[in-house]
Structure 1
Amino acid sequence: MEQPYTTPEYQRCGLAAAGLAALRAEHPGFAWHTLGGHLADSRAFWAAVGAGVEGGYQQRYVCVHVSPGG
């Protein structure tokens, strides 16, 4: 997943949280990463969609099977 985005008129409606929840439900036990990183202006987003998620969403090291740049 890279740079999830919702157009302004639908932001803060819970769409991204619902989408991520559906992905977690369909693929339990998977670890997710975003190649776009967690920029300062998106920390509140990741905190909100990570509420109730064990470990939340936070920056971690990239898995060894993922090569830099994709």
Structure 2
Amino acid sequence: METLTIQFESNIKAKILELLNSFPPNELKIVTENPVFAANKKMLDIALEKVNNGTAECCSIEELDEFLEKALSDYEN
């Protein structure tokens, strides 16, 4: 399946949904936009690029555990 993002005036939303709902569910799925999705995708794309080009900073499990314990301690205080 492909994804298409459209922008429209709110006064035609009912007409658009009526048209889209006329297609069978196996041919068209209406996906509501998650406002946080774009920000998360951008952040993850940047992280992936750093991994792919070798500039990502990595840590051991022990270092991660220490970091998370400190973050939790700071959060609780």
Q: Which has the larger radius of gyration?
A: 2
Q: TM-score, normalised by structure 2?
A: 0.29
In proportion to residue count, which structure has more helix? Answer: 2
Q: TM-score, normalised by structure 1?
A: 0.31
The answer to which structure, 1 or 2, has the higher relative contact order (CA under 8 A, 6+ apart) is: 1
